[in-house]
Structure 1
Amino acid sequence: MTVLLAFRFLAGRYHATPFGHHVNEGLIEWPPSPWRLLRALISVGYTSGLWDGADPPDVGRNLIEKLSCRLPCYYLPDTVGTHSRHYMPTAKFDSGKEKTTLVFDTWARVKDENQELVVIWRDVTLEGTELSMLSDLVERLNYLGRSESWVEGRVMKDGEIIPEINCFAEPHEEIPDRNWEQVALLASEDAETYKAWRAACLENELAHLPLPAGKKKSSRKLLRDRERVEETYPVDLLDCLQKDTTWLRSHGWSPPPGSRRIFYWRRSDAISISARKIRVVARPKQQVVQAMLLSLTNASRNDHALPQVIRTLPQAELLHRALISIAEKVAGKVPQELTGRDETGKPLQGAHEHAHINPLDLDSDGHLDHVLVWATSGLGITAQEAIRAARKTFTKEGIEPLRLALAATGDFQDLAKMIDEYGRNRYGRHLARLAKRALNWQSVTPFVPPRYIKMRGKNCLEGQIRTELSRRGFPNPASITILAPQTQCQSVSPERGTGDENGMTTWHRHFRHFKLARQRGPQPPLNCWFAVRLEFESPVGGPIAIGYGSHFGLGLFKHCGGDEA
């Protein structure tokens, strides 16, 4: 009788390290050794509930013993050897930084995921109950090797075409040619051979611990020593197959008892080193987007170690310089939407359509956790590539760089819908308030006048606000309210103690420590700020950013009240 098992690797990959080798040696046990196959069947018998935890049933015991009496041969699908490298944390710290160690993860990638690994046991006679048990075990097997090696197994039916065997045990009736190679696999002894070997080993070792002659009572130490010797040798082959690494080490075993190394012949290209054929998919053409959202984190994952909201302007400047540098490296030139200047280096004229960089505090803890980069005219391909390539930025007195990751892209309509996509209670609500259409808008960051304030005329405070809105294409507001410094507002960070028990504070306490002057760039005409509320006759959509430093986080507004459209 011939028993055939077929395994299909659902993820197209097989992870397993040969016995006696370290994972960082980069070796792959291909094919799965007979020892591994038997242990997998035993394991799934327990974990699937087919067997109770005490001992396998007689049917299961007989099945394992019969399979162990014969060495299987294999049909191996075509595979490619590949690996990844990871620096894994060790939970050990040096100077406040966690140590890491390099770990290799090596696997065989199945070229055709529909191909099956076939294991063939010849001259094995199984009863009907044993064959049924084998079928149940194989079908319940979730993985073979390490847990990443997902499999779908089955017992092949009579009449199915048996594929050509391309891996078999030594000795073989024919000597393979130079296109074949040998690999050592771990296999089990048959049950009777192990039983005889165990008896001989125990007889030899217990001879050095003889029991006293006659009626003399044995000492406790002697009985304990004899018991330890017997514990060193598992009672039968099935017991050998169930021992784990901890038990083997504690009892001084290197190869498991009841095992043997068998040389198998396989084709020399069974694990090829050539690249797998990759299906080339045409990359969709990138389109211009109006906004890109970046998340901001640090190595410690401590949100309170992120920059405070008062550093909105400096953080935007630092990121802007990084994006300029990245764009030069990526495309050899910097797009106008990032520089705000034309080819001659002159500032762009018009409705401030180049990029705005707005660091945001979306979780209202007083620390910047996201950055919104947006432009009314849209961000081109080069600008998008630069933003996507940005991986880090810096902050004052920061020990390590801050990490950047792309969180979302889209237009302003997408941004207005983020309340449904990015969390209704926190992030999404804050993002939506920057873009949704509404009548009433209120300052998020301080408004700094772009020119000296006059008593009257277009350069008075209200006149400058109207001019700034007009230049950006917004309609003339119905009313402009300059909020008094002592007017109450919602605290940015109630837990920081800047507000009362209801989370309220004043605009003075809210804005007084904000950085208002650029480090590299023109300085503000006046080192002062204002909190502003705007009311329009009909709903307008954001984002709205006006005044000095509006491209670097200042002068940002959000809608307030329940008037959104």
Structure 2
Amino acid sequence: MVLKPTVARYALTDRGQRPLLTEALPLAERVHRALVELSDGSAVFTGCDKLHRPLQGHRHAHILCESNPGSDSEGRGEITEISIYVPMGFGSGEQNALQRLKEIYDDHGGILDLLYLGSGSLADYCRTGGSPLFTRSKCWVSHTPFLPTRHPKATRAGVPKLDSNGRQIGSPEHDILRLLELAGFPEVVAIEPVSSRLLGGRAVPWQEFVRRRATDERRPAANGAGYGFRIEFAEAVQGPVAVGYGGHFGMGGFEGKSNTQIYEKYKNIQ
């Protein structure tokens, strides 16, 4: 039995100005719309079956934008690659749509050119080390802001409601741990907040990222604020790690890091 590819990757070409990683969410939305059209509404990209019922288990497309070290654009924090991750796999029709996607239009008529780099399995991209989103690691650091799906809970007197570990129920930390567990990840043995990420040579606060989908009437919880974390799992996990509101559009994403990398790159960010 031939396994379906689950990852496809694009590079952004030099024509025009590439958007910054802070614009990952609206760019992912445009890529999503294009792939839905090119695939004639494949469930792989829409996330719904023929009766328009949502698929279960988050098996459909995750669109992940990257600004990878070593690129010519690193100094400006531009998006350099886009990955499409589909746990259910790409069929022949979806692969055809991926190959036909060559450009994206913005709301002002601008064109962003995409170079299709090919598709493969998670193991392929983990082995080549081409993306920190697809590595295998125990330690992960926020790549894009985590957007909670629940509000912090408190009594009528305003006293926070705590879980058995002393975390406020519904707080960003409590919510991300809940969502990671629901997604099947192993136990998180360490977690600490990170207020920003290094991008274009400076610490960029999560609030500078676009954090709400233009086509979604729902609002993220916690007034749409973004949060970042360093997390360590009890055992190494295979990326990608992406949870929370907008998780299929690049939000709540993490980069896999070694302990040394985490210390050196993030030691001055709290």
Shorter-chain TM range is 0.7 to 0.9
Given that residues 439 and 563 in structure 1 are in contact (C-alpha distance below 8 angstroms), is that contact kept between their aligned partners in structure 2?
Answer: no
Matched, 1:358 2:64: yes
What does residue 435 of structure 1 align with?
134
2:49 counterpart letter in structure 1: D
Given that residues 286 and 381 in structure 1 are in contact (C-alpha distance below 8 angstroms), is that contact kept between their aligned partners in structure 2?
Answer: no
What does residue 296 of structure 1 align with?
12
Given that residues 298 and 306 in structure 1 are in contact (C-alpha distance below 8 angstroms), is that contact kept between their aligned partners in structure 2?
Answer: yes
1:411 counterpart letter in structure 2: S
Matched, 1:448 2:158: no
What does residue 25 of structure 2 align with?
313
Distance in 2 of aligned mates of 1:370 and 1:533: 23
Change (3 A) 1:316 1:558: same
Which of 534, 545, 551 aligns to 2:231? It is: 534
Distance in 1 of aligned mates of 2:259 and 2:178: 27
Distance in 1 of aligned mates of 2:44 and 2:152: 30
1:89-108, Cα deviation, whole Å (9 max, x unpaired): xxxxxxxxxxxxxxxxxxxx
What does residue 267 of structure 2 align with?
none
Given that residues 172 and 227 in structure 2 are in contact (C-alpha distance below 8 angstroms), is that contact kept between their aligned partners in structure 1?
Answer: no
Secondary structure of the corresponding residue to residue 376 of structure 1: coil
2:211 counterpart letter in structure 1: L
Secondary structure of the corresponding residue to residue 118 of structure 2: strand
Distance in 2 of aligned mates of 1:563 and 1:470: 26
Q: How much does 1:322 deviate?
A: 0.7
2:81 counterpart letter in structure 1: H
Q: How much does 1:439 deviate?
A: 1.1
1:550 counterpart letter in structure 2: G
Distance in 2 of aligned mates of 1:395 and 1:510: 24
Secondary structure of the corresponding residue to residue 63 of structure 2: strand
Change (3 A) 1:397 1:555: same
Unaligned runs of 5+ in 2: 154-159, 164-168, 262-270
What does residue 6 of structure 1 align with?
none
Which of 208, 217, 222 aligns to 1:513? It is: 208
Distance in 2 of aligned mates of 1:401 and 1:411: 29
2:93 counterpart letter in structure 1: T
Which of 328, 333, 338 aligns to 2:45? It is: 338
Query: 1:169-318 maps to which residues of 2 (within 5 A)?
Result: 288-300=4-16, 305-318=17-30
What does residue 412 of structure 1 align with?
122
Given that residues 150 and 171 in structure 2 are in contact (C-alpha distance below 8 angstroms), is that contact kept between their aligned partners in structure 1?
Answer: no
Given that residues 20 and 79 in structure 2 are in contact (C-alpha distance below 8 angstroms), is that contact kept between their aligned partners in structure 1?
Answer: yes
Change (3 A) 1:396 1:335: closer
Given that residues 356 and 550 in structure 1 are in contact (C-alpha distance below 8 angstroms), is that contact kept between their aligned partners in structure 2?
Answer: yes
Q: How much does 1:335 deviate?
A: 2.2
Distance in 1 of aligned mates of 2:144 and 2:26: 13
Distance in 2 of aligned mates of 1:510 and 1:417: 32
1:150-191, Cα deviation, whole Å (9 max, x unpaired): xxxxxxxxxxxxxxxxxxxxxxxxxxxxxxxxxxxxxxxxxx
Q: How much does 1:293 deviate?
A: 0.2
Kindly indicate whether structure 1 or structure 2 has the higher relative contact order, using CA contacts under 8 Å at least 6 residues apart: 2
Given that residues 287 and 380 in structure 1 are in contact (C-alpha distance below 8 angstroms), is that contact kept between their aligned partners in structure 2?
Answer: no
Which of 171, 179, 191 aligns to 1:460? It is: 171
2:55 counterpart letter in structure 1: L
Distance in 1 of aligned mates of 2:135 and 2:28: 23
Q: How much does 1:396 deviate?
A: 4.6
What does residue 199 of structure 2 align with?
492
Secondary structure of the corresponding residue to residue 224 of structure 2: coil
Distance in 2 of aligned mates of 1:386 and 1:377: 16
Change (3 A) 1:324 1:286: farther
What is the RMSD computed on CA atoms of the aligned residues? 2.2
Distance in 2 of aligned mates of 1:408 and 1:562: 31
Runs of 4+ in 1 over 6 A off after TM superposition: none
Change (3 A) 1:462 1:562: closer
What does residue 523 of structure 1 align with?
219
Q: How much does 1:345 deviate?
A: 0.9
* Sequence identity (%): 29
1:448 counterpart letter in structure 2: L
Q: How much does 1:343 deviate?
A: 2.2
Q: How much does 1:299 deviate?
A: 3.1
Secondary structure of the corresponding residue to residue 554 of structure 1: coil
1:524 counterpart letter in structure 2: P
Distance in 2 of aligned mates of 1:361 and 1:548: 21
2:137 counterpart letter in structure 1: A
Change (3 A) 1:453 1:378: farther
Secondary structure of the corresponding residue to residue 39 of structure 2: helix
Q: How much does 1:286 deviate?
A: 7.9
Matched, 1:558 2:258: no
1:321 counterpart letter in structure 2: R
Given that residues 355 and 551 in structure 1 are in contact (C-alpha distance below 8 angstroms), is that contact kept between their aligned partners in structure 2?
Answer: yes
Distance in 1 of aligned mates of 2:205 and 2:114: 27
Distance in 2 of aligned mates of 1:408 and 1:286: 17
1:330-358, Cα deviation, whole Å (9 max, x unpaired): xxxx22221111222121222x1211001
Matched, 1:323 2:35: yes
Given that residues 438 and 540 in structure 1 are in contact (C-alpha distance below 8 angstroms), is that contact kept between their aligned partners in structure 2?
Answer: yes
Q: How much does 1:562 deviate?
A: 4.5
Structure of greater Rg: 1
1:278-300, Cα deviation, whole Å (9 max, x unpaired): xxxxxxx9851110001122535
Distance in 2 of aligned mates of 1:470 and 1:434: 19
Q: How much does 1:320 deviate?
A: 0.3
TM-score, length basis structure 2: 0.82
Q: How much does 1:559 deviate?
A: 1.4
Given that residues 142 and 230 in structure 2 are in contact (C-alpha distance below 8 angstroms), is that contact kept between their aligned partners in structure 1?
Answer: yes
